[in-house]
């Protein structure tokens, strides 16, 4: 997979969660999210227990609460969507007074908003914890270990590897525009920005062709070599299974109680 690539979400540590093989953490996070999504929205108490499980994993990984909460801000657009649901959904409505202002809200919309907020927040939190305790290169190796289609793994690998290169290219183009007195200040400049995007696409495509030819000349035959093979022990799988197994138990109770 090449050299390691640090990312802003990763927080270096030596906790038991950090030490788990990446494919164990990927499988555990996926199973946890499936359990959360499968839980009926009316089982409000179940989502509280899921939040406790997330907090316990964060504590075991020594991830500060502030670090986790700041990265949860990525779901703000979904929160805005959820807030609008009670106002636009159809069906039975209830009257609510907030600050002396009366509002008519849809009951189904309120449940839908709660469903999106609860499950979305828990899913994002699980993803943030996974990224906070696993390096990008390890995540790619974990996906490969879990038998994800090799082509998808390679695409993700090249996106990570050359994302910064494309961003640097865009930054140089922006500097070139400013050095010639260009400042985007209105709709009349959208044409210039569109041409910039087109030029960036062409340069990226040509760079990709050059990289592919260089790889082929060095023996690339459609698959990347695995430099280090990480094998998980039964104890590590059992440790990683604690979270999804507990979540599954909570989900089953949510359907039966």
Tokens of 56: 């316990």
Backbone angles phi, psi at 101, to 5 degrees: -105, 120
Query: What pLDDT does 183 receive?
Result: 77
Q: Residue 148 in 3-state DSSP?
A: coil
Band (pLDDT 50/70/90 cuts) for residue 52 is very high
Band (pLDDT 50/70/90 cuts) for residue 149 is confident
Band (pLDDT 50/70/90 cuts) for residue 99 is low
The answer to whether 74 and 124 have CB atoms below 8 angstroms apart is yes
Band (pLDDT 50/70/90 cuts) for residue 119 is very high
pLDDT tens per residue across span 174-222 = 898 888 887 777 777 788 888 888 999 998 899 889 988 998 898 887 7
Query: What pLDDT does 229 receive?
Result: 66
126, pLDDT greater than 70: yes
Q: Where are the domains of the chain?
A: 16-143+230-256, 149-217
250, pLDDT greater than 60: yes
With a CB cutoff of 8 Å and minimum separation 6, the contacts of 1 are: 137, 140, 141, 157, 224, 226, 227
> CA angle 129-135-137, nearest 5°?
140
- The rounded mean pLDDT for the chain is 87
pLDDT tens per residue across span 216-228 = 898 887 777 665 6
The answer to whether 31 and 171 have CB atoms below 8 angstroms apart is no
Query: What pLDDT does 54 receive?
Result: 96
Query: What pLDDT does 51 receive?
Result: 96
Query: What pLDDT does 81 receive?
Result: 85
The answer to whether 20 and 239 have CB atoms below 8 angstroms apart is yes
CA distance 86 to 66: 30
Helical H runs in the chain? 16-19, 22-38, 44-60, 65-71, 76-88, 107-133, 136-145, 150-179, 190-217, 234-256
């Amino acid at each position: 997979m090449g050299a390691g690539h640090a990312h802003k979400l990763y927080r270096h540590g030596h906790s038991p969660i950090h030490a788990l093989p990446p494919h164990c953490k990927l499988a555990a996070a996926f199973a946890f999210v499936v359990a959360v999504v499968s839980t009926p929205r009316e089982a409000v108490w179940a989502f509280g227990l899921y939040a406790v499980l997330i907090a316990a994993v964060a504590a075991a990984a020594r991830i500060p609460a502030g670090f986790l909460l700041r990265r949860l801000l990525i779901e703000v657009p979904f929160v805005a969507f959820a807030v609008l649901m009670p106002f636009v959904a159809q069906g039975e409505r209830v009257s609510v007074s907030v600050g002396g202002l009366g509002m008519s809200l849809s009951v189904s919309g309120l449940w839908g908003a709660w469903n999106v907020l609860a499950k979305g927040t828990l899913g994002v939190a699980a993803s943030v914890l996974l990224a906070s305790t696993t390096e990008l290169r390890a995540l790619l190796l974990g996906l490969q270990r879990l038998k994800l289609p090799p082509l998808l793994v390679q695409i993700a690998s090249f996106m990570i590897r050359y994302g910064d290169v494309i961003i640097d290219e865009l930054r140089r183009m922006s500097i070139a525009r400013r050095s010639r007195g260009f400042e985007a200040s209105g709709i009349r400049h959208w044409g210039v920005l569109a041409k910039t995007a087109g030029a960036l696409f062409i340069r990226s495509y040509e760079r990709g062709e050059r990289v592919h030819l260089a790889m082929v000349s060095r023996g690339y035959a459609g698959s990347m070599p695995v430099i280090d093979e990480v094998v998980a022990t039964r104890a590590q799988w059992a440790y990683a299974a604690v979270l999804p197994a507990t979540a599954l138990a909570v989900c089953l109770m949510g359907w039966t109680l």
